[in-house]
A and B are shown apart, each in its own frame.
Chain A
Amino acid sequence: MNILSYLIPISLFLGGVGLVAFIYTVRTNQYDDPEGDSRRILSDHYDDHPKP
């Protein structure tokens, strides 16, 4: 049963990572345009360089 002392914290930690990631995506407006985002991955135009 000693294995529980690793497994329980690990499962809680992994779940927590998922939760934090979800909260981050909500906070940064990533669900505003689900339809557009699913199409944007097909575009080969990169917009990671903002206009100077």
Chain B
Amino acid sequence: MTAALRPSVSACPACAAAPAAEALADQGALDAAQIALSLPTIHCSACISKIERGLNAHPQVNSARVNLTLKRASIDAVPGVTAQDMVQLVEGLGYEAHELDAGTLSATSNDKAGRDLLMRLAVAGFASMNVMLLSVAVWSGAEAATRDLFHWISAAIALPTIAFAGQPFFRNAWAALSNRQLNMDVPITLAILLAIVTSLWETSLSGEHAYFDAALTLTFFLLAGRYLDHRTRAIARSAAQELSALEVPRAIRLENGTECEVMQADLKVGDAILVRPGGRMPVDGEIITGMSEIDRSLLTGETLPVLAQPGQAVSAGEVNLTGLLTIRATAVGADTSLHQMADLVAIAESGRSRYTSLADKAAKLYAPGVHILSGLSFIGWYLYSGDLRTALNIAAAVLIITCPCALGLAVPAVTTAASGRLFRRGMLIKDATALERLAQVDTVVFDKTGTLTAGTPELTNLGALPRPSLEIARALAQASSHPLARAIVQAAQEAGITAAQVDKITEVPGYGTEGLWQGKKVRLGRASWTGAEALAETATFLRVGETAPIAFTFADRLRDGAAEAVQALQESGKNVYLMSGDTTPAVEALADRLGITHWLAEALPADKSTRIQELAENGAHVLMVGDGLNDTAALAAAHVSISPASALDAARVASDIVLLGGDLSPIAAGCDTARTATRRIRENFRIATVYNLIAVPLAVAGLATPLIAALAMSTSSITVSLNALRLR
């Protein structure tokens, strides 16, 4: 798409100046000069310095910096420099480069929440190390005045640290309590505060036990869990946003006969818009001039391109294949049919049964349990000894020892390890609970066009065609960029067929190409144009002179790994379904080829989601894999959903997992990883419970010391983290 929009500002010097100046005034000079490029192929220090040197040598670039982690370059240039210039410059250096939409990216550029957590984590770590040093001195025998001094210094470090580092927990706990609910943060907050209060009290009475170190290490471990969790999600979010940012929302508007590149958001109803071959319709509209074919597969799942001629309506999201089209906008922005369908997804999503994650389930059991246990030990000891101080001390010890350090780390440590592993294989986990839901899947529903198939056709009857016809067809096909023509050229090339000598080749957009071969008129194109009868399958026809036309039939090329993915899923005992908006013969052929027994053809978007809901009502956990706008409702209705990176933005937003490469084979492996991850999470819960079972009776019996609390807490947290690392 970017390639099709290349000749931009230079095409119209007159209107480049005035609107550009206006745009500058509107958005501020910064916007125009900040350019972000995606550089997917860079990998070493030589790449960094080569690109940076090349960009910085450009006279209009103020500064350029390459980020190898994100594989991005950010360029600060004088206003008027376009991203296209920069892309060409970098491509000239021998690297692949794509423009990224700065507006979409800006949301991720400064991760404030992550930085905030990191800062609190650092402060808690610093304080807990220092207090632990002092505590070790106390445990190893410091007495009387020395012990009191150490306790007071610990208090002086712990109080401000807890006040700063504990804020995320305090805020969450307060939010839950004000909604009259309990979450994991309520016992955490209570344990921290109670530990601090009793320790202060003990210290002021020259007592033996103070839990300042426990309160701090608790905060530190829990913050570590939070940070891991946040970082996993932030990485997924920024990768997802980069995918969206690759589609720069620009369009070419015709103003008094000149072409101007404008942002899609600035288009108005009635504007004349130029759509080049390969470009996507930015708005709903009506064709004014031009003949072409349009590909609707992302909206409807149909693979056959549709003829487009003046007067015909087009919808946003359709792809123009062959000829130059000028359309008049009839609906823009949020009014386009593309947007209205995306809104349907929001409705479907709100109806999706709310999944409670394992962590939430654990918290529901855990939070009331701890409170009751510590409350009971407080009452018991108060009645038994009549001493408020002892009773409070024991209640605090119970809360601290049961505190969910390991529970807080159990889930994030595993999801971080699992998401990292899947990310390296090309699966991007967008949703926090997607892994757990993926582990439950027993039914997989695939969309056809663009998901199981790559959306590019493949010639199927090469062997049955006479060689001279193929030679003529190759010559005619070479002159066109139509997908079917390109498929013929590719097939002919692989079979070693050379092009025949055909003169005066012209392309008739929307119909095909024609030329003169040995004085005879030859045509390659639509059935109606070559005088043939249309076939049920995708086909194009060659007519030589007045002889009967010959059909070239095509099938959609399978996406890489599609066959392997379907086979692996079926072998692991899952039901595989195929649902498509395409015609029955096309769907049946593909289902036969892949060995899928359940299939549904000519399905409307609503049919797909109803069918999935039916499956869900029968107790199946459905994984939906789809890419088109017609799949979005189904993606949102399914238990968990995957879309390829080539999918429409709306489909990617609706799905929980995005496949980054073109390959489908990671899906089966992903299901396995998800299952292992869920098993690890459960194991972690069990480990944490075992530690509690050992330590809690000690605490309730009043035998717990700060040393035992510290040991139980650290060992359980470390075991849980190590168990999670086994996943990598």
Binding site for B on A (CB under 8 A): 1, 4, 8, 11-12, 15-16, 18-19, 22-23, 26, 31-36, 39-40, 42-43, 45, 47, 50-51
Contact = CB atoms under 8 A, between A and B. Distances in A.
Contacts of A1: 146
B153 A39 contact: no
Nearest to B62: A51
A26 B66 contact: no
21 contacts: A4-B146, A11-B130, A11-B133, A15-B129, A16-B126, A18-B126, A19-B126, A26-B119, A32-B67, A32-B69, A36-B66, A36-B67, A36-B68, A36-B69, A39-B44, A39-B48, A39-B68, A40-B45, A42-B45, A45-B49, A51-B62
Contacts of A11: 130, 133
Given A31-B118, A45-B53, 11 more contacts: A4-B146, A11-B130, A12-B130, A18-B126, A23-B119, A33-B69, A36-B68, A39-B45, A43-B45, A47-B52, A51-B63
Contacts of A51: 56, 62-63
A33 B123 contact: no
Nearest to A41: B45
Interface residues of B, number: 27
A26 B130 contact: no
Contacts of B56: 51
Contacts of B45: 39-40, 42-43
A25 B97 CA distance: 30
Please classify the interface of chain A as helix (H, G, I), strand (E, B), loop, or mixed, using the class held by over half of its residues.
helix
Contact of A26 (B48, B122, B133): B122
A15 B62 contact: no
A23 B48 contact: no
A23 B118 CA distance: 9
Contacts of A45: 49, 52-53
A36 B48 contact: yes
B352 interface: no
B29 interface: no
B133 A33 contact: no
Contact of B70 (A12, A16, A33): A33
B115 interface: yes
Nearest to B67: A33
Interface string B124-164: 00100110010000000000001001000100010000000
Contacts of A4: 146, 149
Please classify the interface of chain B as helix (H, G, I), strand (E, B), loop, or mixed, using the class held by over half of its residues.
helix
Contact of B48 (A8, A22, A43): A43
Which 9 pairs between the two chains have the least Cβ-Cβ distance? Answer: A36-B68, A39-B45, A35-B69, A33-B67, A19-B126, A33-B69, A42-B45, A35-B68, A43-B49
B613 to A, nearest CB: 44
B151 to A, nearest CB: 13
Contacts of B122: 19, 22-23, 26
Contacts of A22: 122
B115 A26 contact: yes
Nearest to A8: B153
Residue with the highest number of chain A CB atoms closer than 10 Å, among B49, B123, B153: B49
A27 to B, nearest CB: 8
A44 B48 CA distance: 12
A19 B62 contact: no
Contact of B130 (A15, A32, A47): A15
A15 B62 CA distance: 40
A22 B146 CA distance: 31
A15 B157 CA distance: 12
Contacts of A31: 118
Contacts of B126: 15-16, 18-19
A3 to B, nearest CB: 12
A43 B68 CA distance: 14
A44 B638 CA distance: 53
A19 B68 contact: no
Contacts of A42: 45
Contacts of B49: 43, 45
Interface string B47-60: 01100110010000
A50 B53 CA distance: 12
Nearest to B56: A51
A50 B459 CA distance: 56
A26 B69 contact: no
A33 B123 CA distance: 23
Interface in B461-503: none
Contacts of B149: 4
Contacts of A19: 122-123, 126
Contact of B69 (A15, A34, A47): A34
B574 to A, nearest CB: 37
B40 to A, nearest CB: 14
Nearest to A42: B45
A21 to B, nearest CB: 10
Contacts of B133: 11
Contacts of B48: 36, 39-40, 43
Nearest to A45: B49
A43 B122 CA distance: 31
A4 B150 CA distance: 10
B217 to A, nearest CB: 15
A26 B125 CA distance: 15
A40 B66 CA distance: 10
A52 to B, nearest CB: 11
A45 B57 CA distance: 14
